[in-house]
Chain A
Amino acid sequence: MICDTYKDDLLEAAVHGQAHERLEKHLDQCASCRETLESDRAVLDRVQHLLRSRMGEEPSAGFLPRTRAQIAHDPERGWSHAWGLAAAIAGLLLIAFLNFGTSPRHSQTESNRSAAIPERQEPVVPPAQNMPSVLKASGVHTPAHAAQPAQFPMLSARAPEVLVPPDEGRAFRRFVARLAEQREIAEAFVSSPVAQTVAQQNELPDISPVEIADLRVIPLAWEMWKQPQWSGPYVARKITSGSEQK
């Protein structure tokens, strides 16, 4: 016969681990309730045993290495393809600009900035007339960083200034930061093969003036380039309407 008198109390007793006084008295007399209580306790023990064994399992040996690898290749934190492309473009810019200004054999002081900026085959003219005011004011293409050794980290002490399209500025900075992280690549970029190896005029590569947006990058005259105040063989000028700004 099934006894319903203490049905809920039995469950409570099984979960709680002990029965209250009235139930204890009832259990002394009721075999059915004793059996139910034992059964409930056995179920709970079994549940506990199963959960314990499940919750005591160890992950496989490959779990942590796999997780680490997944985190290392997480696209939301790593470099996206777009960044890679931006970095590649920025890299070209970096090569173009840094190569002109990292020759170890030249040095530059603030007073040297007032030196002339002649083109090849052109007469030397005073800088006030020659250098575009916007560039002179900002120091663009003045080799302020030329005194730094060609090896990294040359960027941190006296940072060169570079003109880039506004939307490429961040990519460019990240690229430079990446170079800072990978010294050997940085050294390959910043050591200018032209500046280090050319000793004779006839070894100078024949480069025509190049226009980039409103800037004209012009080869300097050989004799001017060899002067200590100029670290590279080029100068940039701003193009104004009709002619170059002087």
Chain B
Amino acid sequence: MTRELQAPADPGIRIRTELRPAEPAAASAAIGIELRDVNLSYGDNHVLHDISMDVDEKRVTALIGPSGCGKSTLLRCLNRMNDLIESARTTGSVKIKGQDIYGPGTDVIAVRRRVGMVFQKSNPFPKSIFDNVVYGLRIGGVRDRTALEAAAEKSLSLAALWDEVKDRLQASALSLSGGQQQRLCIARAIAVEPEILLMDEPCSALDPIATLKIEELIYSLKERYTIVIVTHNLQQAARVSDKTAFFWLGRLVEYGVTSDMFTNPREKLTEDYITGRFG
């Protein structure tokens, strides 16, 4: 299924134009996140309507849909980031390994350590590369220098950034390029060893080559993490995800295996969207 084109400028870069073959194991994956009747409103504005879906563990799930359809809002429900917005009200349940993160007495900070997040625009702290990567560990109480160094190397390696920065860990994170900064943010998120990684349009501010690197990274990270990615780029959803969920006006319209959904959507609305008739 996979046809690869040689890019003429740089023989090292391959541009994938077709879908990856469907994961044969997709059907048998365990449930990583279980959403039931999730509703969210900002004041009087009802943004999410009765979202119920099961996110597969150690797979990539893409959330797609036109702007304002609630996909980013849903993503931010998964680590309770919407708590920061005063007027947001959430009902329903989001279970991670059986634990409802909206249940009474939930430690939100512990939840956020289990569920890492990468944002639309890279947002490194104005500190050194090293200090950025170990920030989460430091605020978690890790003080031991060797432990921090080991964690930094491991996370940067997983984020495919180690070779580029190993000689200048004390340099400012802001001296990195945009794509490197985004990979640094991924390294920073995985340094605290979360189970789930949320990505909110992680490539929207990047050039095609940096985007390609991040996509490769996402592909390799799913061995370890359950990944949920919001994207505006349908080709990206097709390239990186195992399952895709299509949202429209705050409702989940269709959710299924990515290759099926892109070749043979069940809903007319989905078909119209992925063929570019609106959005």
The answer to whether A and B come from one shared complex is no
Chain A residues engaging chain B, CB cutoff 8 angstroms: none
Q: Residues of B with Cβ closer than 8 Å to A?
A: none
